[in-house]
Every structure is written in structure tokens, then in C-alpha cells.
Amino acid sequence: MGIRLKFNLVLVIVFLAGFAAAGFISRQLLQENAREEVLRNARLMMDTALSVRAYTVEQVKPHLDKQLEEVFLPQTVPAYAATETLHYIQKKYRDYGYKEATLNPTNPRDRATDWEADIVQQFRQNAESKELVSERTGGTGRILYIAKPIQITNAACLQCHSVPSAAPASMIKIYGEANGFGWKHNEIIGAQVVTVPMDIPILNADRTFKAFMASLAAVFVVVFIVLNLMLNWLIVRPIRRMSLAADKVSTGDFDVPEFSDAGRDEVSVLGSSFNRMRRSLEKAMQMIERGN
């Protein structure tokens, strides 16, 4: 096995090991960054919904409370205001979702689906939990969701949701008496759920990963070619010339030209040593011929 083959074999093995390690680490980092990006978007939507809720309670509802005796205004309900506001975002970003998923809602559109009901039950079973982040597979692919419990901490909410007789007649006229009642103080009645698609960030991460790996492979090919050219020019060719010269000298052919002794690298030192050995051997052969 020649020097070039041994060198290339070691180089390829080292590259493949480094290529695999770099690929594994970079893919993990890109996937994690993609998920963090999705999670930031989900938190931004959740914070937007919470801000709309707070704005409705603090600055809208107080000015409209007097009108509720005559006509029910759903715009004064924090959940309704948040859902309607995020609905406008969903018109542009259709794969994004926000829902005030409730087990027994006043507004039928807020009724929890099976998987949303499971989230509400998790919050009920673990009252200390204030947030749930996980993934699921939807119709558009992988979806990350973030959920927060909806808990009746304000006793004033029970005015509309305890029993139908206590609720405003204007609200009963719109939604009826069948749903949205029987709530209790400190009860977890639902969950705010934000859903954000993961396909696009993951696709971008995969595209970046492929571009990085292709670039890494291209760099290796260039380095491989350059190193082989240098190996051939600086080591293989001089050693091959010395090998051929040594064969000729061993048969008594001393017409081989001397190697250049310029330079201080190992090949130059080897060339100088070969020149001295050749001259010494030539003198020794001449002395033997004279003695005969």
C-alpha cells in the first residue's frame, strides 16, 4: 500500500467521522432553533391574547356596563375580545390558531374538541400547572401548541355563569339557558390554546442543514485535491525519484544526477543524505577497481 493511498485512506476516515459529528450536532442545533422560533411565535400570540383580555376588562367593560341591562354586548367579554382580535391575525396566517377552549361554554364556538378537553383535564388534575407546551400532528403537519388554564378567580364572572336566573336577560336572549352555567369559583373551566405550525421553520432548518453539509463536502473535496497535489509534488515525486536513483546506483550506474539540497525540510535533508551516500559509494567502488 503506497503512501498516497494510506494518506488518502486516513484522510477519508477522519473526514467521514468529522462529517458525521458535524452533521449530527448542526442538525440538532438547527432543529432546536426552529422549535424555539415556533415557541416564540406561540408565546407572542398568547401574550397578545392576554393583553387584549386585560385591555377589555380595564378600559372597555367599565364604560359599557350600564348598557348591559338593556342589550348584551359580547365585546365586553374578555374571551370574546381576545378571540375576535386573534381571528383577524388568522385571516392572514391561516395555519395559526387561538381558542378559548371551554368544556361548558356560553358561545358554542368555544366548545373544546377532544384533544383540547384533554388539556383542560390535565390542568384540572394538576392545579399547580400554569402552562403546557407540546406538539401534535394536525391536518397541515406538525403543530406546536401552548396552553394556559382558564380559571374563575373573579367572583364577578359567576353573575353570568352561575345559574340562568342570575344572568342578564339580554345574554339569555342571545345564547339561551342550555350552556355556560354551573361554573364555580376557582374552577378551571377551560384553556387558552395557541397553535403554531412547525412545518415551515423545520423545512427552513432542513434546507440550511443540507446547504451546510453540501458546503462542508465541497470544502473537503477542494482540500482533498489540494493536499493530494501537495503530497504528490512535495513527497511522492521526490521519494519516487530517490527510489529510482537508488535502484540505478545499486547496479553500479552512478550517472544519476544529484538531488537539490536547497531547503531545510525532511525531503531536502533526505536528498542531501542520499547524495553523500552516492558519492561515498562511488568512491568506494573506484578504490576497489584500482586495487584490482
User: Do the domain assignments include residue 179?
Assistant: yes
Q: How far apart are CA 257 and CA 268, in angstroms?
A: 15
HSE-CB at 269 with a 13 A cutoff on CA atoms is 3
- For position 182, what pLDDT does the model report? 85
Please, which pLDDT band fits residue 1 given cuts at 50, 70 and 90?
A: low
Between these two residues, 260 and 190, which has the higher pLDDT value? 190
Quote the cell numbers at residue 281. Answer: 559509494
Residue 182 and residue 232 in one domain? no
User: Are 105 and 243 in a shared domain?
Assistant: no
pLDDT at 291: 64
Q: Is residue 253 domain-resident?
A: yes
Q: Determine which helix (DSSP H) or strand (DSSP E) holds 97, and give its type and residue range.
A: strand 97-102
- Separation of alpha carbons 243 and 211, rounded Å: 45
The pLDDT, as a whole number, for residue 267 is: 67
Are both 89 and 57 inside the same structural domain?
yes
Q: Is residue 226 part of a domain?
A: yes
Pick the last residue of a domain from 163, 178, 198. Answer: 198
pLDDT of residue 2: 72
Are 110 and 79 contained in the same domain? Answer: yes
Same domain, 144 and 48: yes
Q: At 27, list the grid cell.
A: 442538525
Helices (H) then strands (E): counts for the chain: 9, 4
What is the structure's pLDDT at 91?
87
Tell me the pLDDT tens digit for each residue of 112-137: 999 999 999 999 998 888 999 998 88
Position 157 in a domain: yes
Instruction: Determine, yes or no, domain membership for 20.
Output: no
pLDDT exceeds cutoff 80 at 286? no
Contact 52, 82 (CB under 8 A): yes
The whole-number pLDDT of residue 212 equals 93
Q: Where in the sequence is the domain holding 246, given as residue range(s)?
A: 3-10+206-291
Is the domain of 56 the same as that of 35? yes
**How many domains does the chain divide into?**
2
Sign of CA pseudo-dihedral 160, 166, 171, 176: positive
pLDDT band at 73 (very low <50, low <70, confident <90, very high): confident
Write out pLDDT tens, residues 204-252.
999 999 999 999 999 999 998 998 888 877 777 777 777 777 777 766 6
Whether 177 and 60 share a structural domain: yes
**How many CB atoms within 10 Å of residue 263?**
11
Task: State how far the Cα of 66 lies from the Cα of 202, in Å rounded to an integer.
Answer: 50
Per-residue pLDDT of 242-256, as tens digits, reads 777 777 776 666 667
Whether residue 101 is found in the same domain as residue 188: yes
At 161-178, the pLDDT tens digits run 878 877 777 788 888 888
- Assess if residue 122 is contained within a domain: yes
Q: Are the C-beta atoms of residues 56 and 77 closer than 8 Å to each other?
A: yes
Same domain flag for 42 and 107: yes
Q: Which residue has the higher pLDDT, 65 or 31?
A: 31
Of the residues 198, 224, 255, the one at which a domain ends: 198
Distance CA 12, CA 120 (A): 55
78, 103 contact by CB (below 8 A)? no
Query: Are 171 and 223 found together in one domain?
Result: no
Q: Give the pLDDT confidence score for residue 17 in this predicted structure.
A: 93
d(CA 261, CA 39): 67
Q: At residue 268, does pLDDT exceed 90?
A: no
More confident residue, 280 or 137: 137
Indicate which CATH number applies to the domain containing 217: 1.10.8.500
95 — pLDDT class (breaks 50, 70, 90): confident
- Judge whether 156 lies within some domain: yes
**DSSP code of 50?**
H
Of 179, 198, 217, the one marking the end of a domain is 198
Residue 21 lies in a domain: no
Q: Are residues 283 and 144 both part of a single domain?
A: no
The answer to whether residue 183 scores a pLDDT higher than 80 is yes
Question: 72 and 194 in one domain?
Answer: yes
